[in-house]
Amino acid sequence: MTTTEEYRLLGFSDQDRDDAEAFQADRAVVDDLADQLRAALGKLGQEPQLRMPDDPRNSVQAFLDTLPDVRRFHAERGIPDDVSWATLADLGQQLTVNRRTHGEYGLETHWWMTVHWTGQIYALGRLQYLLHQVPADKPVPGTEPGEWVTGVHIPETGPLTPEAVDDSLAQAREFFPRYFPEYPVRTATLWSWLIDPYLLDNLPPESNMVRFGRRFTPYGEANDSQDSAIFFTFRTHGLERLDELPQDTSLQRLVVGRIKAGGTWQSAYGYLRL
């Protein structure tokens, strides 16, 4: 049973907690995911390929059921409690995003939470860091295939100020050698719409977003991902209702304006040395 305090530390709103508790979970489906999470816990290198329930509310139940397992893994590594909870609280954050996007309890991004629950990703200040190996088919400049790197992720938890980013990167430099000494990390990678060159060239150069993106050296081939720009800016999907989207900020205007002009947003690759 998840306690009220655990729900709070996991970042659940009262409404999401009530809905999670009221949900009639499918035991067999929940246990299947819970077993897979336990088996994959601590197997670092590649993102886990798990069979996910059709109904993500069953996934939430599996995350709750395996909370003691992932908490034990963090404790055995000596990972500080505040880092452990900040990492796992992305579950509540994702539920909040789901409610904004779909207006109800659910977890569209349930696959994303498997990296938290298998011990691969850590929230260090403003950013999250996913420990993984450079795949042979997607080389990163200055690294060997199989070398350990950390993928940077940006949750929607407030402004991305340069000070917060500096602080987070400083934490990452300390964290990985201390808690994962057998996986030496020298490079951070980013795959994101936030480093689409069009965004970097068209938002004000002094904005948090552009100053963040310019820290990364571009590499590789960008992929089309129109929906990323729409989803991360507006928390909705699809291009059918472009005219109804708010146009209050420079980012909102840039995202819609480019699409209306026939352009396509992309997710690009970048790296930086830690």
Q: Which stretch binds ligand COA (CB under 6 A): 56-64, 79-87, 179-187, 203-211?
A: 203-211
Q: State the minimum distance, in angstroms, from the CB of residue 162 to ligand COA.
A: 10
Two tokens, residue 270: 């970048």
Residue 187 or 207 having the CB closest to ligand COA: 207
Secondary element (H or E) of residue 259: helix 250-260
Query: 145, 159, 184, 257: which one contacts ligand COA (CB under 6 A)?
Result: 159
The yes or no reply on residue 232 touching ligand COA (CB under 6 A) is: yes
Q: 208, 219, 236, 242: which one contacts ligand COA (CB under 6 A)? A: 208
Q: In what order do the strands lie in the sheet with 217-224?
A: 121-124, 127-133, 148-153, 187-192, 266-273, 217-224
Query: Binding of ligand COA at residue 249 (CB under 6 A)?
Result: yes
Span near ligand COA by CB under 6 A; candidates 130-138, 143-151, 177-185, 205-213: 205-213
242/251 with CB nearer ligand COA? 251
User: CA nearest 85: which of 204, 160, 5?
Assistant: 5
Interior angle at CA 45, CA 268 and CA 85, nearest 5: 85
- Check binding of 96 to ligand COA (CB under 6 A): no
Nearer residue to ligand COA within complex by CB, 187 or 267:
267
Residue 36, amino acid: Q
Q: Does 154 bind ligand COA (CB under 6 A)?
A: yes
Smaller CB distance to ligand COA: residue 49 or 250?
250
Beta bridge partner(s), residue 121: 130
Nearer to ligand COA (CB atom), residue 36 or residue 114: 114
Q: Helices in 41-161 by DSSP H: which ranges?
A: 56-65, 67-77, 81-88, 90-102, 114-117
One residue of 91, 194, 200, 230 binding ligand COA per CB under 6 A: 194
Residue among 216, 222, 93, 203 at smallest CA distance from 152 = 216
